[in-house]
Protein backbone atom coordinates (compact mmCIF):
# COMPACT_ATOMS: atom_id res chain seq x y z
CA UNK A 1 0.00 0.00 0.00
CA UNK A 2 2.80 2.39 0.88
CA UNK A 3 4.51 1.58 -2.41
CA UNK A 4 1.32 2.31 -4.36
CA UNK A 5 0.88 5.56 -2.48
CA UNK A 6 4.42 6.67 -3.28
CA UNK A 7 3.92 5.71 -6.93
CA UNK A 8 0.72 7.75 -7.18
CA UNK A 9 2.42 10.70 -5.51
CA UNK A 10 5.26 10.58 -8.04
CA UNK A 11 2.77 10.42 -10.92
CA UNK A 12 0.87 13.41 -9.59
CA UNK A 13 4.09 15.40 -9.28
CA UNK A 14 5.03 14.50 -12.85
CA UNK A 15 1.60 15.60 -14.14
CA UNK A 16 1.85 18.91 -12.29
CA UNK A 17 5.36 19.45 -13.65
CA UNK A 18 4.24 18.66 -17.21
CA UNK A 19 1.28 21.06 -16.92
CA UNK A 20 3.57 23.79 -15.65
CA UNK A 21 6.10 23.24 -18.44
CA UNK A 22 3.38 23.10 -21.12
CA UNK A 23 1.75 26.31 -19.86
CA UNK A 24 5.09 28.09 -19.70
CA UNK A 25 6.07 27.02 -23.23
CA UNK A 26 2.74 28.08 -24.69
CA UNK A 27 2.85 31.43 -22.92
CA UNK A 28 6.44 31.94 -24.13
CA UNK A 29 5.50 31.11 -27.71
CA UNK A 30 2.55 33.52 -27.50
CA UNK A 31 4.80 36.33 -26.26
CA UNK A 32 7.46 35.60 -28.91
CA UNK A 33 4.79 35.60 -31.61
CA UNK A 34 3.42 38.95 -30.44
CA UNK A 35 6.92 40.41 -30.24
CA UNK A 36 7.76 39.22 -33.75
CA UNK A 37 4.63 40.88 -35.11
CA UNK A 38 5.37 44.11 -33.32
CA UNK A 39 8.90 44.14 -34.75
CA UNK A 40 7.33 44.22 -38.21
CA UNK A 41 4.98 47.03 -37.23
CA UNK A 42 5.01 50.46 -38.79
CA UNK A 43 3.89 52.92 -36.12
CA UNK A 44 2.66 56.41 -36.82
CA UNK A 45 2.97 58.77 -33.90
CA UNK A 46 1.19 62.07 -33.67
CA UNK A 47 1.24 64.31 -30.60
CA UNK A 48 -1.92 66.37 -30.32
CA UNK A 49 -1.17 68.42 -27.21
CA UNK A 50 1.32 68.92 -24.40
CA UNK A 51 -0.09 66.05 -22.35
CA UNK A 52 1.19 62.50 -22.43
CA UNK A 53 -1.67 61.39 -24.67
CA UNK A 54 -0.48 60.04 -28.01
CA UNK A 55 -2.50 59.02 -31.00
CA UNK A 56 -1.05 56.18 -33.04
CA UNK A 57 -1.91 53.12 -35.06
CA UNK A 58 -0.33 49.68 -34.94
CA UNK A 59 -0.72 47.10 -37.66
CA UNK A 60 -0.20 43.59 -36.31
CA UNK A 61 -1.26 41.80 -39.46
CA UNK A 62 -4.15 39.42 -39.86
CA UNK A 63 -5.24 38.74 -36.30
CA UNK A 64 -7.90 36.28 -37.44
CA UNK A 65 -5.28 34.02 -39.02
CA UNK A 66 -4.98 32.04 -35.82
CA UNK A 67 -6.33 28.63 -34.88
CA UNK A 68 -7.79 29.52 -31.50
CA UNK A 69 -8.00 26.49 -29.17
CA UNK A 70 -11.05 27.79 -27.29
CA UNK A 71 -13.03 28.40 -30.49
CA UNK A 72 -11.91 25.04 -31.86
CA UNK A 73 -13.03 23.11 -28.78
CA UNK A 74 -16.23 25.09 -28.19
CA UNK A 75 -17.43 24.56 -31.76
CA UNK A 76 -16.76 20.82 -31.41
CA UNK A 77 -19.95 19.14 -30.06
CA UNK A 78 -17.83 16.58 -28.19
CA UNK A 79 -15.96 19.17 -26.13
CA UNK A 80 -18.37 22.12 -26.13
CA UNK A 81 -19.82 21.42 -22.68
CA UNK A 82 -16.39 21.15 -21.06
CA UNK A 83 -15.40 24.55 -22.44
CA UNK A 84 -18.70 25.96 -21.18
CA UNK A 85 -18.08 24.44 -17.74
CA UNK A 86 -14.61 25.97 -17.63
CA UNK A 87 -15.85 29.49 -18.35
CA UNK A 88 -18.92 29.04 -16.16
CA UNK A 89 -16.54 28.47 -13.26
CA UNK A 90 -14.49 31.56 -14.18
CA UNK A 91 -17.51 33.85 -14.52
CA UNK A 92 -19.54 32.11 -11.80
CA UNK A 93 -22.44 31.99 -14.26
CA UNK A 94 -23.27 29.56 -17.06
CA UNK A 95 -25.56 32.18 -18.60
CA UNK A 96 -22.76 34.75 -18.78
CA UNK A 97 -20.25 32.21 -20.06
CA UNK A 98 -22.60 31.00 -22.81
CA UNK A 99 -23.46 34.57 -23.83
CA UNK A 100 -19.80 35.52 -24.30
CA UNK A 101 -18.79 32.25 -25.98
CA UNK A 102 -21.71 32.22 -28.44
CA UNK A 103 -21.19 35.83 -29.45
CA UNK A 104 -17.42 35.45 -29.73
CA UNK A 105 -18.04 32.58 -32.16
CA UNK A 106 -20.64 34.62 -34.06
CA UNK A 107 -18.21 37.53 -34.49
CA UNK A 108 -15.13 35.35 -35.04
CA UNK A 109 -13.40 36.90 -32.02
CA UNK A 110 -11.02 35.09 -29.70
CA UNK A 111 -13.09 34.13 -26.64
CA UNK A 112 -10.09 34.85 -24.43
CA UNK A 113 -10.14 38.48 -25.62
CA UNK A 114 -13.91 38.76 -25.16
CA UNK A 115 -13.74 37.33 -21.62
CA UNK A 116 -10.79 39.58 -20.76
CA UNK A 117 -12.67 42.70 -21.88
CA UNK A 118 -15.81 41.67 -19.98
CA UNK A 119 -13.75 41.07 -16.83
CA UNK A 120 -12.03 44.46 -16.97
CA UNK A 121 -15.29 46.21 -17.85
CA UNK A 122 -17.65 44.66 -15.31
CA UNK A 123 -16.00 41.74 -13.48
CA UNK A 124 -18.64 39.60 -15.27
CA UNK A 125 -21.49 41.38 -13.50
CA UNK A 126 -24.50 41.68 -15.89
CA UNK A 127 -25.98 44.41 -13.67
CA UNK A 128 -22.85 46.56 -13.48
CA UNK A 129 -23.37 50.32 -13.82
CA UNK A 130 -20.90 53.19 -13.90
CA UNK A 131 -20.86 56.85 -14.90
CA UNK A 132 -17.98 58.26 -16.92
CA UNK A 133 -16.53 61.77 -16.85
CA UNK A 134 -18.98 63.05 -19.49
CA UNK A 135 -21.93 62.03 -17.34
CA UNK A 136 -23.08 59.23 -19.62
CA UNK A 137 -23.98 55.82 -18.21
CA UNK A 138 -22.14 52.54 -18.85
CA UNK A 139 -24.23 49.41 -18.36
CA UNK A 140 -23.98 45.63 -18.25
CA UNK A 141 -21.30 43.05 -18.99
CA UNK A 142 -19.50 45.12 -21.61
CA UNK A 143 -20.41 48.51 -20.08
CA UNK A 144 -22.31 49.75 -23.11
CA UNK A 145 -22.39 53.54 -23.11
CA UNK A 146 -25.70 55.41 -23.15
CA UNK A 147 -24.41 57.89 -25.74
CA UNK A 148 -24.32 55.01 -28.25
CA UNK A 149 -26.91 52.60 -26.84
CA UNK A 150 -29.28 55.01 -25.13
CA UNK A 151 -32.27 53.75 -27.11
CA UNK A 152 -31.76 50.12 -26.03
CA UNK A 153 -34.31 49.00 -23.43
CA UNK A 154 -33.18 48.42 -19.86
CA UNK A 155 -34.24 44.78 -20.16
CA UNK A 156 -31.97 44.25 -23.17
CA UNK A 157 -29.02 46.25 -21.86
CA UNK A 158 -28.86 44.10 -18.72
CA UNK A 159 -29.50 40.83 -20.54
CA UNK A 160 -26.09 39.03 -20.71
CA UNK A 161 -26.65 37.66 -24.21
CA UNK A 162 -27.85 40.95 -25.73
CA UNK A 163 -25.17 42.98 -23.97
CA UNK A 164 -22.45 40.56 -25.12
CA UNK A 165 -23.83 40.60 -28.67
CA UNK A 166 -23.67 44.40 -28.83
CA UNK A 167 -20.38 44.76 -26.95
CA UNK A 168 -18.45 42.10 -28.85
CA UNK A 169 -19.94 43.29 -32.14
CA UNK A 170 -18.93 46.87 -31.36
CA UNK A 171 -15.36 45.85 -30.50
CA UNK A 172 -15.13 43.71 -33.64
CA UNK A 173 -16.25 46.68 -35.75
CA UNK A 174 -13.35 48.71 -34.33
CA UNK A 175 -10.95 45.85 -35.06
CA UNK A 176 -12.17 45.66 -38.65
CA UNK A 177 -11.98 49.44 -38.99
CA UNK A 178 -8.52 49.92 -37.50
CA UNK A 179 -6.92 46.61 -38.48
CA UNK A 180 -5.42 46.02 -35.04
CA UNK A 181 -6.58 45.26 -31.53
CA UNK A 182 -4.63 47.99 -29.76
CA UNK A 183 -6.41 50.80 -31.59
CA UNK A 184 -9.72 48.92 -31.32
CA UNK A 185 -9.45 48.56 -27.54
CA UNK A 186 -8.43 52.22 -27.23
CA UNK A 187 -11.49 53.30 -29.23
CA UNK A 188 -13.76 50.96 -27.24
CA UNK A 189 -12.54 52.39 -23.94
CA UNK A 190 -12.05 56.09 -24.68
CA UNK A 191 -14.32 56.62 -27.67
CA UNK A 192 -13.19 57.22 -31.21
CA UNK A 193 -14.09 60.94 -31.08
CA UNK A 194 -11.97 61.50 -27.95
CA UNK A 195 -9.00 59.73 -29.51
CA UNK A 196 -9.33 61.51 -32.84
CA UNK A 197 -9.39 64.93 -31.17
CA UNK A 198 -7.04 64.54 -28.20
CA UNK A 199 -5.22 61.23 -28.52
CA UNK A 200 -5.23 58.24 -26.21
CA UNK A 201 -5.51 59.17 -22.51
CA UNK A 202 -3.22 57.53 -19.95
CA UNK A 203 -6.10 55.65 -18.32
CA UNK A 204 -6.77 53.91 -21.63
CA UNK A 205 -3.20 52.63 -21.82
CA UNK A 206 -3.75 51.07 -18.40
CA UNK A 207 -7.06 49.63 -19.58
CA UNK A 208 -5.41 47.95 -22.59
CA UNK A 209 -2.66 46.59 -20.34
CA UNK A 210 -5.24 45.10 -17.94
CA UNK A 211 -7.09 43.43 -20.82
CA UNK A 212 -3.86 41.99 -22.22
CA UNK A 213 -2.73 40.63 -18.85
CA UNK A 214 -6.15 39.13 -18.17
CA UNK A 215 -6.28 37.45 -21.59
CA UNK A 216 -2.89 35.83 -21.01
CA UNK A 217 -4.05 34.53 -17.62
CA UNK A 218 -7.23 33.08 -19.16
CA UNK A 219 -5.29 31.36 -21.95
CA UNK A 220 -2.68 29.90 -19.59
CA UNK A 221 -5.39 28.59 -17.27
CA UNK A 222 -7.34 27.13 -20.18
CA UNK A 223 -4.29 25.39 -21.67
CA UNK A 224 -3.50 23.92 -18.25
CA UNK A 225 -7.05 22.57 -18.01
CA UNK A 226 -6.68 20.94 -21.43
CA UNK A 227 -3.54 19.18 -20.25
CA UNK A 228 -5.45 17.72 -17.29
CA UNK A 229 -8.55 16.77 -19.27
CA UNK A 230 -9.07 13.32 -20.76
CA UNK A 231 -11.44 14.50 -23.50
CA UNK A 232 -10.40 18.10 -24.27
CA UNK A 233 -7.56 17.30 -26.64
CA UNK A 234 -6.63 19.51 -29.59
Domains, the chain, with CATH or none: 41-228 (1.10.530)
Residue 174's pLDDT is what? 94
pLDDT tens across 90-148, in order?
Answer: 999 999 999 999 999 999 999 999 999 999 999 999 999 999 877 889 999 999 998 88
Longest dimension (CA), the chain: 74
* Residue 159 parent element (H or E): none
Residue 186: partners with Cβ closer than 8 Å, 6 or more residues away: 195, 200, 204, 208
217 vs 57: which has the higher pLDDT: 217
Q: Is the pTM of this model over 0.95?
A: no
End-to-end CA distance of the chain: give it in Å, rounded: 36
pLDDT over 90 for what percent of the chain?
56
Amino acid sequence: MESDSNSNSIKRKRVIKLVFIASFCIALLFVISKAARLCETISIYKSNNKSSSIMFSINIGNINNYDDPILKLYTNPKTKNEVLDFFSAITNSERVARAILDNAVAHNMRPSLAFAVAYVESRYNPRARSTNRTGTLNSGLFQLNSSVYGKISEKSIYDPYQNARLGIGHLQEYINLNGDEFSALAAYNAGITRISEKGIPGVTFRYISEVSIMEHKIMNFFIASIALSESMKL
